[in-house]
Structure 1
């Protein structure tokens, strides 16, 4: 069952790309590059990698960030930039299983929020849904657990 939690702002470094659902790997495959970039600068990750969805049109383009949280601000460089995930009240749910199953989890969370009378930090524009903060956080390290059916993924959607 989803929960509502208060989350402070969080620093991260990331790479942004416009993709489609069929080309999601274009941004996902760059996570290793971000980890290497941090290691070269002596900065440690402060949690699992995530995808931040900024604009979503499931039938068209998505504007997505692949990111890695850091404990303190790190200056960006090149394709890697520094960002801040905004503080606020978030609806959160943990999924255990393959990432391909997240569409159903997201639908259930959105349905639950609607039943509760909650509004997300999201507007609908001509090019899709624009989100203030919508995250998929990957808690399972793929080298430690290569079976994607056993992964732990937390979704976090900021409330309006």
Structure 2
């Protein structure tokens, strides 16, 4: 994993998006993500693409969403639903390479700096106010995931 920026505390504005949300096991989750991206990109050809983790349970069901940031709210269209990445303080870093390692690095940095994540911890899965990976490299133009520049961000508690 190569870190380009951060980890650091950043402030993000509210951002609207169109997304497809599903529940899937951790094993095979990234294949599901890739299929959701294809489905979403067929309907929304431009915009920042992200992968949001609503509920994380690596031993059970994961509640995930793939979205594309939009300039304004969208109307529901089949499986595509409107959503909002909430405004607030985030722990964030930009990397290329292994996403699981980057997420661990960011979580360790947040905890090591005495910050608290906006998360409800539960044995059935940790529910995050907002945790995502934004693909700064457009997945539609670069097929090699190991070359993607990705921002991983976790909303911090107020």
Tell me the TM-score normalised to structure 1 length. 0.88
Asked if the contact 2:131/2:153 (under 8 Å) is kept, the reply is yes
SS at match of 1:3: strand
The equivalent of 1:144 in structure 2 is 141
Q: Secondary structure at the match of 1:78?
A: coil
Name the CA shift for 1:27/1:133 in 2 (closer, same or farther; >3 Å). same
Q: Which residue of 1 is the match for residue 44 of structure 2?
A: 38
- Aligned equivalents of 1:68 and 1:54: distance in 2? 16
How well do the aligned residues superpose, as a CA RMSD in angstroms?
Answer: 1.4
List gaps (5 residues or longer) in structure 2: 1-5
Equivalence for 2:129: 132
* Higher percent of residues as strand: 2
Q: Note the alpha carbon deviations across 1:135-158, whole angstroms, 9 max, x for none.
A: 001111234323222210110100
CA deviation vs aligned residue, 1:106-149 (integer Å, no higher than 9, x gap):
11111111111000010112311000000001111234323222
Q: Secondary structure at the match of 2:44?
A: helix
Corresponding residue of 1:9: 14
CA distance in 1, matches of 2:126, 2:44: 31
**2:119 is the alignment partner of 1:122:** yes
Runs of 5+ consecutive residues of structure 1 not aligned to the other structure: 40-44
Aligned residue pairs, count: 151
Alpha-carbon distance change, 57 to 15 in structure 1, aligned in 2, over 3 angstroms: same
**2:152 aligned with 1:155, yes or no?**
yes
| Whole-angstrom CA distance in 1 between matches of 2:144 and 2:21 | 27
Q: TM-score scaled to structure 2, two decimals?
A: 0.89
The 1-side partners of 2:47 and 2:138 are apart by 13
